[in-house]
Amino acid sequence: MAIITVSRQFGSKGDDICEALARKLGYKLVDRKVLRKRILELGCSEEMMRKFDGMKPGFWASLSRYKDEYLYYLRTAMMSEVSSGNCVVVGRGSFLILKGIESCVSVRIVEERRSRIERIAKLFESDLKEAEKAVKQADWHQLGFHKSYFNAHLSDFFLYDMTLNSGKTDIDSAVDAIAAYAAAQINEERERNGEEQLNVLTLAQNIVNMLIFTYSIEIDNLRADVDGNVVTLRGVSSLSASVQRAIDILSLELPDFKIVSKVNVVQDSMRKSF
């Protein structure tokens, strides 16, 4: 299983490069449409998608439980899609969600703003001012989305394995460069390791989904880490009883695992470790 994640600036040649790359390699293309369809199938509402999908949440939206739920749906959908085999995953924080998988390489596609504005104006038959506004808004949302959900800044190029300026190359050359890099990085051993690592990530997300959606546990920003037979819960809660209930549930549901809590319990405006 080989995975190539591509983060791209709005108005760059990123989408065209992703489509051509998937076609050249014979990989599955996991783009916005594919992820949106899968997320909705999992139970996410259209209203939640409009508020959170690829967007920087507004102030009140960022404080709601629906923000966390959207991320749980997104992680689940993405892991489900990539589990089927070799794929190119486009955007939606995929390089961060799938970080740590050895058979995954991450690419960032950038381009000078002026050329992106001109491309958008031509594509949508709009004037340059309208195109500039669209590009600025898209960049703002993309930066805010990654900061809000992953506490990551897109300008940190050490987050990526490869950065490519699509304004300096044609689509075919960009595809060849990415394909060559991926081929050099991903071997059979890394693919085997990657499958095991994806299974662990999927198990961890399934644990979170069970606690939130099945048992309605009140823990914000809930995450689970699985290391061997140890499950560590992380997040924030105002109720220590909710944390204990989560531990009790997992002890019954996963009798072969040791359950550890690193959830922060906030009481009387003070945060302490449970």
- 271 band by pLDDT with thresholds 50, 70 and 90: very low
Specify the pLDDT at position 61: 63
Beta strands at 28-30 and 87-90: parallel, antiparallel or unpaired: parallel
Mean of the pLDDT values across residues 4-16?
Answer: 96
Q: What are the tens digits of pLDDT across the range 24-72?
A: 999 999 999 999 999 999 999 999 999 899 888 776 666 678 899 999 9
Region of 74 (left: φ > 0; alpha: ψ -120 to 50; beta: rest) is alpha
Tokens describing residue 202: 């999927």
Specify the pLDDT at position 247: 97
DSSP string of 71-106, one letter each residue: HHHHHHHHHHHHTTSSEEEESTTHHHHTTT-TTEEE
Specify the pLDDT at position 11: 95
- 266 band by pLDDT with thresholds 50, 70 and 90: confident
Q: Cβ contacts of residue 123 below 8 Å, gap of 6+?
A: none
User: Is residue 186 within 8 Å of 105, Cβ to Cβ?
Assistant: yes
